[in-house]
Structure 1
Amino acid sequence: MPTHTPGFPPGTLADDGLPIWISEVASTERHHALHVVRGRDPRQTLEALDADPGRIRTCVLPAAGTGPYTSLPAAFLADECGDSGTLLSGTNGSWTFVYDDAACVDEEVLAELSCGGRAAASTTFSVNADVSLAYAVDGSVACHVDLDDLVLERDLPHMPDALRTAFRAAGTIEHDCLSAGEADHEICMRAVCALAGLAWTVGDLRGAPLLVAPYE
């Protein structure tokens, strides 16, 4: 499958264009989100997303999930996982990420995460393949992207600099159902990963210190 993804070297993307570390942890039936914020540590970020401080734990991901609807973080928590989903968090430099295996956290939380001069971004991929992305700086949402309305050539020049750079790094992946250069369904996940420098291999993920918490 031809690709032009300058921010993602070999070994960092699955065949469908999803960053491979997310493909590693996601369930087969995906309804998930990724949140990133600069300048907060993972525990602070999980607490800001309403995780119970007493239920935040260090995490060693299992080798496999327990079924098509179970992510690896949920499999790790087993009977402790929340009714709504599981949050997995780690860092890359000054950025913290939270993989949200059931897209539990609303984008509205993003503005709060970015308060104090921080930047934050969130992207959601629904079970119906609805895709959106929000980018916030210093307490306010600076840009919102709906994949159905995204035209890269038209929209990239109007994005904030950091987000535009992230989308260019995310690039495009050609599918039979898409025109050349048209945004694919995983472009927003790649863009958020590019923003936070998360062009990781599976080995990078499994070698990183991780925290996990149920979301209820």
Structure 2
Amino acid sequence: MTASALAPPERTSVPIARSPMPTPGFPPTALDSAGDPIWVSDLASVEPNHTLHVVKGLEPAEALEVLGANPRLFRTCELPDAKADVWSSLVGKALGIEPGDSAALLAGRIGAWTFVYDDAGFTSPGPHTISLSADGSTAASSLDTINADASLSYAVNGEELAFVDVNDLDLGADLPGMPAELRAAFDAAGVFDDEDIAPGEVDHAIGMRVVCALAGLVCTLDDLRRITLTGVPFG
């Protein structure tokens, strides 16, 4: 069925697109009202400083160790039904971590890709992405903060091939110089339709969507609850 054959949807909590497929890799049910992957915002506190890493070919425990987590503190993590309060992440509640005490890292593997979610942004794009990609792996990381800082790093075999400051991103000028795999992830991420975004600008959540699109993480918390998750306090 083509986009033109679809009847316009009724307005819901997810903004209606002004174009047929503003985020082609993500159905509306996979995104929250700000354009973030819904499983990420469901894990996060209300005003998060958080990072998402993905790496191809590493197991979750290996990825956590590369990021500097203590393997003696690793534990199988079952996500609770709700967060403790607006300041807590779902991972923090699962690990019994009070907000501000430390970061809570959550790792799992879906297909060929492992993800690590850092609820406090203690790990960041750049050096951590490069470390994850060592020994022939591909990795990407996205940081998003309450201060509107957002960045994205992409590395292969220990070499950073792209670093993007989302606030300075110009898709028309910057995309052609990116690696093909990363360009495809940007194409899938699209630009979330929001009336406050001017033509040619990108939305703040694009980095998180790009990382998820790269690793095929178009999922929900229910999907995460069906796989083995490893959690660890960090920092």
User: Any unmatched runs of 5+ in structure 1?
Assistant: none
Q: Deviations over 1:9-33 (max 9, x none)?
A: 2421111110011111100011101
C-alpha separation between the residues in 2 aligned to 1:59 and 1:201? 16
C-alpha separation between the residues in 2 aligned to 1:72 and 1:80? 11
Q: Quote the residue 1:192 is aligned against.
A: 211
Q: Quote the residue 1:174 is aligned against.
A: 193
1:64 to 2:82 alignment: yes
Question: 1:6-155 residue pairs with structure 2 within 5 A?
Answer: 6-79=24-97, 83-107=101-125, 108-155=127-174
C-alpha separation between the residues in 2 aligned to 1:165 and 1:96? 19
Q: Quote the residue 1:203 is aligned against.
A: 222
User: Any unmatched runs of 5+ in structure 2?
Assistant: 1-14
Please report how far the alpha carbon of residue 208 of structure 1 lies from its aligned counterpart in structure 2 after TM superposition.
2.2
C-alpha separation between the residues in 2 aligned to 1:78 and 1:201? 22
Normalised TM-score (structure 2): 0.88
Structure having greater relative contact order (Cα 8 Å, sep ≥ 6):
1
The structure having more radius of gyration, on CA atoms, is 2
Contact 1:82–1:214 (8 Å) recurs in 2: no
Runs (4 or more) in structure 1 with deviation over 4 Å come to 79-82
Contact 1:73–1:86 (8 Å) recurs in 2: yes
Residue identity opposite 1:102 in structure 2: A
1:214 to 2:198 alignment: no
Q: 1:53 to 1:81 in 2, by over 3 A?
A: farther
Number of residue pairs the alignment of both structures matches: 216
C-alpha separation between the residues in 2 aligned to 1:202 and 1:135? 25
Residue identity opposite 2:191 in structure 1: T
Normalised TM-score (structure 1): 0.95
3-state SS, counterpart of residue 30 of structure 2: coil
Residue identity opposite 1:125 in structure 2: D
Contact 1:85–1:215 (8 Å) recurs in 2: yes
C-alpha separation between the residues in 2 aligned to 1:11 and 1:207? 19
3-state SS, counterpart of residue 176 of structure 2: helix
